[in-house]
Structure 1
Amino acid sequence: MSHIAKVLALAGIVAFSNAARADGVLSDLLEPIRAQYELPALAAAVVKDGKIVAQGAVGVRVLGKDIPVTQEDRFHLGSDGKAMTATIAGMMIDEGKLRWDSTIGEVLGPIVPGLKPKFAAITLEQLLSHTSGIPSDTEDLLKLYFNAEAFDYTLTAYRLRMISEWNSAHDLSVPSGSTFQYSNLGYAIVGAMIEQASGKPWEELITTRIFEPLGLKSAGLGPQATFGKYDAAIGHAVDENGKVTPRPWGPSADGPAVVGPAGIAHMNVADFATWAGWNAGEGKRGPALIKPETLKRLHQAHIKTEIPHPKPGTPKSGSYACGWGLSHFDWTDKPVLIHTGSNSMNLAMILVDVEHDAGIVAVTNFPGEKADAALLAATKELYARYVKAKAAP
């Protein structure tokens, strides 16, 4: 047994005992999965017909410290926040401030001069569905994200500067076979378009238009722990040699804030499940954040995604909507909305089945393939136990 495994096993004994007293529902399911995949912590929740029917948390907040996680612990959601940004874009569409076919040039051209024609012609819907031709994170993009000059600007202003610099130095390049390219920069541009249309920072909008109306009291942005405290599930970085380093606070504890619209939110599993349940209700259940038809369009497949060598349990093909993936697993009746998110130190997974009005969320404070396999295993088991079983006659 590795040193990390020994530490996790010892911590798990204490944490499992604590969690069993705390929830008595999911501990028996989550703890074996957490231990099998050697994760510090694992938490999950299930929502059905708008009500949370199960939740639990097991493990420790940080390796090397005997601090058990609780159901109130905040976990980082990573790119699962893209659906929230897409929902805010839907609000702007409902209010007539943006359109699905609003272009970058139309919205940002007046304040970002010199946009190249092809770049300027990209539409909001293309950005939301990752079909704009803007690439996934490259070395050049990372240099823009982690640029010391960012400290001289507000986040809104630096987003515009980042967009201008990328536009000046690059041309769009669509790979052969598919126009799908998962792009964090694309969502940062959506954030900038939302800011220009509303006159308010994206950070304010996600707080006042998503977190507060839905009552997500644990929700926030950036690193999930309070500076100087281990009061949340702390993320862990793993280097190329397998060395694990907890990263509780400061700039190293999350991705750059300038790409916040691509996903820097955190919250506990109950609030995360509330968000899943609101989407499962397709906007028919309050609060009425956007029109049901707008939400349905955000949930609809826009582009097929093919995975040449999928991980075990992962579908080979699926689709991408707007901030959501769509996949048909061998344990679901039909394609379901699903997304995973990571800032390279944490991992989160959300599944929404609108046909059964159900949602499942699973989160951990550890990155990588083991974490991905663990969340998928937990989600599969919870789906069978709480969604498919409830749907049977």
Structure 2
Amino acid sequence: MRLPALFLALAAAAPPPAGADPAEIAAALAAEPAVPGAVVGWITEDDSARAVAGVRRAGAAEPVTEGDLWHIGSLTKSMTATLAARMVEAGLIGWDTTAGELLGAEHPDMAEAWRGVPLEAFLRHASGMRANLSLFGTLRVGQGPRRDYVARALASPPEGERGGYLYSNAGYVVAGAMLEAAGGAPWEELVAREVFAPLGLASAGFGPPEGDQPQGHRGALFGGLRPVPPGPRADNIPALGPAGRVHLSAADMLRYLRAHLLAEEEYLSAGSWARLHRAEGPGGYAMGWVEADGVLRHSGSNTMWFAQTRLYRAEGVAVFVAVNSGLIERVRPAVEAAADAVFTDAGG
């Protein structure tokens, strides 16, 4: 008997079996009714493993493959912070360089509250800037240039106290604009040159994956899932790039995580890695990472995908899990269980 779509959407999938390998973990995750396709993987200094399961689009039989691209949403934030560290080491900007110093001339309407806020505060969500522009402001920016978004963000008053914790996509966009001003190039060009290229992330790009690739999904009106084909509605607006518009393969994401896990000194100095990973303030936030029980982790979603990373630095293991579903409250428990199981498979 065919069960109603709404019942299927609310049903719970079984957790990965004890002692499961990556293929079994991915299969258990893709069996979750709200998950069309999934990828799981881990990496250590000397070894790695990954697996995929499910389909690229709900209602279609085309399976995901190990080379497919996954949108990582706010996991992009650690890449923006990593770019900042590279630029600090190159002498192009300082952690204490302020928004007023770099953006004041271009944005004369900047509120006085932002003029003295340093780059590092924006990267730690400690600037006091609101989470996002208002819906009206976002619609006004639309597919327009980052400068328009930054102008609106900097003209707005603070919503939180400087030095406190208020998760802010807008703050990361401002940080990205500061890096653009210091580097003389768009954030996309800078992060490709200073993060993607030296770390060998050949598959990394911006916006939703296009072509013969998985698609993100929203909930359908009467239950089930609705794929969102590539286009303006398939991702955050372009201005939000520094906060969450990167896609890449699982192999490249694990390669990126390995650099952080090992604090590779041929890429960044030990001091820069330590600063990126040091959690501060009431939110326990580092720069692109949240610390919980000694583990650095972060989740990311553009409301159509959901991804999670973890750095178990004491055990020397990094974990990546992603699904092409934006039903976060439904899929989060299954993604968390998968990440736990992947860590166990890696010997953690």
**Aligned-pair distance for 1:71?**
0.8
Deviation at residue 4 of structure 1 after TM alignment? 7.0
Residues 243 and 375 (structure 1), Cα distance of their counterparts in 2 relative to 1, 3 Å cut = closer
Aligned equivalent of 1:238, options 212, 216, 219: 219
User: Is the partner of 1:62 in helix, strand or coil?
Assistant: coil
Q: Deviations along 1:193-213, whole A, 9 cap, x unmatched?
A: 001001011111111211121
1:220 deviates by 1.0
Query: In 2, distance between residues paired with 1:382 and 1:145?
Result: 38
Partner of 1:3: 5
Q: Measure the CA separation in 2 of the matches of 1:106 and 1:72.
A: 43
Q: Which residue of 2 aligns with 1:323?
A: 288
CA shift, 1:25, in A, is 5.0
| Aligned pair partner of 1:196 in 181, 185, 194 | 181
What pairs up with 1:368-387 in 2 under 5 angstroms?
368-387=328-347
Cα distance in 2 for partners of 1:99, 1:186 equals 17
- Counterpart position of 1:59: 54
Number of positions where the alignment pairs a residue of Structure 1 with one of Structure 2:
337
| 2:166 maps to 1:171 | no
Does the 8 Å CA contact 1:277/1:357 hold for their aligned counterparts? no
TM-score normalised by the chain length of structure 1: 0.80
- Correspondence 1:41 to 2:37: yes
- Is 1:363 the counterpart of 2:344 in the alignment? no
Q: Is the 8 A contact 2:34 2:224 kept in 1?
A: no
What is the aligned counterpart of 1:127 among 122, 129, 150? 122
Letter in 1 for 2:253: F
* C-alpha distance after superposition, 1:183-228 (max 9, x if no partner): 01101011100010010111111112111211112211101122xx
Of residues 6, 22, 28, the one that matches 2:24 is 28
Higher relative contact order (CA 8 A, sep 6+): 2
1:243 Cα deviation from its structure 2 partner: 5.7
Amino acid at match of 1:216: L
Q: Which amino acid aligns with 2:240?
A: V
Supply the AA of the counterpart residue of 1:377. Answer: A
| 1:162 counterpart (127, 136, 149) | 149
Query: Which of 159, 166, 170 matches 1:185?
Result: 170
**Cα contact 1:34–1:374 (8 A) shared by 2:** no
Contact 1:37–1:370 (CA<8 Å) still a contact in 2?
Answer: no
Identity in percent: 31
Determine which of 67, 70, 89 is the counterpart of 2:65.
70
Please name the residue that 2:16 is paired with: none
2:112 matched to 1:117? yes
Other-structure match for 1:88: 83
**CA distance 1:180–1:241, shift in 2 (3 Å):** farther
Give the counterpart letter for 1:143 in structure 2: F
Contact 2:290 2:297 (C-alpha < 8 Å) held by counterparts = yes
Q: Secondary structure at the match of 1:162?
A: helix
The aligned amino acid for 1:147 is R
1:146 and 1:256 in contact (8 A); partners too: no
Map of 2:136 onto structure 1: 143
1:261 and 2:242 correspond: yes
Q: Note the aligned Cα RMSD (angstroms).
A: 2.3
